[in-house]
Amino acid sequence: MASEADGTGGAGGYTAREMMVSAAAREIEDGDTAFVGMRLPLIAFQVAVSTHAPNAMSVFESGVVRDDPADGFLHTMCDLPNLDRAVSTTGMLDVMGRLARGDIDVGFLGGAEIDRYGNLNTTRVHAGDREIRLPGSGGACDIACMSDRTVILMAHEPRRFVERVEYVTSPGHGEGGDWREEQSVPGGGPSALVTSKATFGFDDGELYLRTVHPGEDADAVAADFPWDLRTREDVTGDPVGETAEPTDEALSLVREFDPDGFWTDD
């Protein structure tokens, strides 16, 4: 777990996915209970708990509860290193019950499509006339409905950004504004989107551009969206910022947890 930070977080020298993991890790606060699922969010939790959030806990829908990084690379949440020396290996009702009770501070989500209000689709999309079946929700819908806040990670590809998702697998802010409250959706909804080019916040339930990763252009990023994307400037008056680069410590940890770059190579 020792970091090998040398104090210089140089530009470049990391992949876009490493950048995403680093940005996602910063969305986990110390003491948070995080529903992290798999892939990049799982690595983000491992980075966070090894750095600024030593008291964070991770829960996994399969029934695993951990307070530290697994001692070994994980393809899935059920790989043996994630079970070994866990705090608890229990069942889904147990961990989903915590979610349903409102005890999960932050949940992580991905999606094939996202819309203006952070609704996600992982069920089916169209490519022209052809309907493509995707794997489905898994636990994503539950995490989206019931976490205090959610953080969404997606590859930055314009086809993923749509005015309205075809199927709401995981509700975000619905139609914006107080929609969640009106619909009795219990959790707080998306608080951030992290893509491979930028980070975004939500204001009144609507996505806005918060920071672009080093080397990316805010206007170009905004042009990837099929609607007139709001920016931090519109929301707070501050201009769109630059995403903080991964620290050397964070990078070193990412490479420890994913030594072959299985999840974090581009």
Positions annotated as catalytic residues are 61
Binds other proteins by CB under 8 A, chosen from 1, 4, 6, 135: 135
Q: Should residue 236 be labelled a site residue for other proteins when binding is judged by CB under 8 A?
A: no
- Listed ranges 58-66, 148-156, 206-214, 220-228: which one lies at the site for other proteins (CB under 8 A): 58-66
In the complex, what is the shortest distance from the CB of residue 206 to other proteins, in angstroms, rounded to a whole number? 16
Burial of 238 (0-12, 13-18, 19+ CB in 10 A): exposed
The Cα 242–Cα 244 span in angstroms is 6
Cβ atoms 249, 3 nearer than 8 A = yes
Binding segment for other proteins (CB under 8 A), chosen from 1-9, 17-25, 90-98, 222-230, is: 90-98
**Minimum Å distance from CB 24 to other proteins?**
19
What distance in Å separates the CA atoms of residue 124 and residue 166, rounded to the nearest whole number?
Answer: 7
How many residues in the shown chain lie near other proteins by CB under 8 A? 70
Rounded to a whole number of angstroms, the minimum distance from the CB of residue 228 to other proteins is: 25
Looking at residues 170 to 199 of the shown chain, list those that interact with other proteins (rule: CB under 8 A): 170-171, 174, 179-180, 183-186
C-beta separation of 8 from 248 below 8 A: yes
State whether residue 5 is helix, strand or coil. coil
Encode burial over 137-149: b for 16+ CB neighbours within 10 A, e otherwise: bebbbbbbbbbbb
Residue 42 touching other proteins (CB under 8 A): no
* Segment contacting other proteins by CB under 8 A, of 126-134, 148-156, 198-206, 209-217: 126-134
